[in-house]
Amino acid sequence: MKRKIFLCALMLLVLASAALARPQAFGNFRAEIPAGWSGDLQGSTLVIKNDTAKASLAVAFNEMGEASLTDIVERLYVQMDGRDLEQDDDGDYNFSFVNMAGAESVALISGGDGYYLVVSMSGFEDEALHDDFETILDSIDWED
């Protein structure tokens, strides 16, 4: 009897951990997608959406070309009608904006080695989704 209970408990743990996040490949991107979220590659941008809440995260990884990170940030800031532009101690940038769906959003921009990464998020004000956003952000990887 104890063995059956142990096996049932073990099975539940395995199923629960599999439901929490599942690593997936999207073109050159890899990310863990928590349960209740889905991901899709749209052109060169990875878009991850919550299936029930109005929350999303988009990731674009591009070559910088001749532009500096500051040039790229300034261009994006103007294009997205950004506000509250900040640069952190690591040289990364962030600003707020309203996305095309009318949702309050934030953009995070980082660069190095001739590439820049743009992450935009909306729905992050829902505290119940903070762990999901953190899981996704911590797991994003680009394979060249």
Q: Give the model confidence (pLDDT) of 59-69 as tens digits.
A: 999 999 999 99
Range with lowest mean pLDDT among 14-18, 68-72, 92-96? 14-18
What's the whole-model pTM score? 0.78
Mean pLDDT of 76-105: 95
Number of structural domains the chain divides into: 1
* Alpha helices (H) in the chain, listed in sequence order: 2-20, 69-79, 130-139
Mean predicted confidence (pLDDT) in 35-47: 93
CATH number of the domain encompassing residue 51: 3.40.1000.10
* Res 2 pLDDT > 60: no
14, part of any domain: no
Contact 52/36 with Cβ under 8 angstroms? Answer: yes
Domain with 112, as residue range(s), is: 21-142
